A = this chain, B = another copy of it.
Amino acid sequence: MIETNQKFLIVGLGLLGGSYAKALKKKGYSVYAITRSQSSIDYAKTQGWIDGGSTEEDPELIGQSDYVIFGLYPHIMIEWIARNQPYFKPGAILTDVSGVKCNVVDVIQKNLRNDLEFIGSHPMAGKEVSGVQNSDDTMFQNANFIITPTEKNTEPGIAFAKELAQVLGFPNITSLSIEQHDEMIGFVSQLTHAVAVSLMNCNDNAHLKDYTGDSFRDLTRIAKINEELWTELFLLNQKNLVREIDDFIFSLNDLKQKISDGDEQGMKQLFIQSTKRRKYFDA
């Protein structure tokens, strides 16, 4: 159980890191931050979201922390943990916010000191804007939180991740293996981003603004995308994502063929099926 006298360290104070800090501070915990930019620390401090912070990888700040939350890109987090491994407090629990778990969680756990624990977690919340200034913990209120334990994790480590999600305000907390997580995320998150990006790119369509309805806007909202982060996430999950794209193209070609053939009954069946399946997601 998270005790009130225990200390949190957030490494990487962006949109998610800042939203975590805000939510944790509301519940009265001690929260510190290490991040690249002094202005992010100053902003979070002024807002009362952190007790202190540094732009340096400060051994003292690391060493006092019972819980360390990484809001970094996966490869930067892996390097960060390797570099600062000696300074963690014995017994500290580490977690992340990464959108991909294979080649991330397993790599970190393989090289981690025996008296530390890394438990993977994925808050399925975000915005099309970044930076600590856009932090907003209300985005957790309707969102899913996924914990990805492996055989390296302990009951207390898993319990910590679950309690953290509860403290942050996530209503729905589930658990998946890292393999299940990445397969699922290849479909619900990465494929949807690939589709939105390709929809935006398949037509030089700036002049279409006056003619769009809500559907085009909805389907392309996430085509505004952080190219550094998503290139990394896509490549970390290459195999699953490529298979999901293939499955989707197969499905779209099926509909296209029925349109070409003028197969009214076949088209109606596909529409009835999509309508029925979509209804599950409203409930």
Contacts and interface: CB of A to CB of B under 8 A. Distances in A.
A208 B225 contact: no
B198 A252 contact: yes
Given A224-B275, A235-B259, A187 B208 contact: yes
B234 A197 contact: no
Given A259-B241, A271-B227, A248 B211 contact: no
Contact of A195 (B219, B230, B235): B219
A136 to B, nearest CB: 13
Nearest to A272: B227
Nearest to A217: B281
Interface string A245-283: 111111111111001101010011011111101111101
Copy count, this protein chain: 2
Interface in A136-151: 143-144, 146
A212 B234 CA distance: 17
Contacts of A220: 274, 278, 281
Interface residues of A, number: 89
A246 B254 CA distance: 12
Nearest to A226: B271
Interface in A185-229: 185, 187-189, 191-206, 208-228
A125 interface: yes
Contacts of A174: 210-211
B212 A281 contact: yes
A53 to B, nearest CB: 28
Contact of A238 (B214, B244, B260): B260
B209 A187 contact: no
A82 interface: no
7 contacts: A188-B215, A196-B215, A197-B274, A198-B251, A198-B255, A200-B273, A200-B278
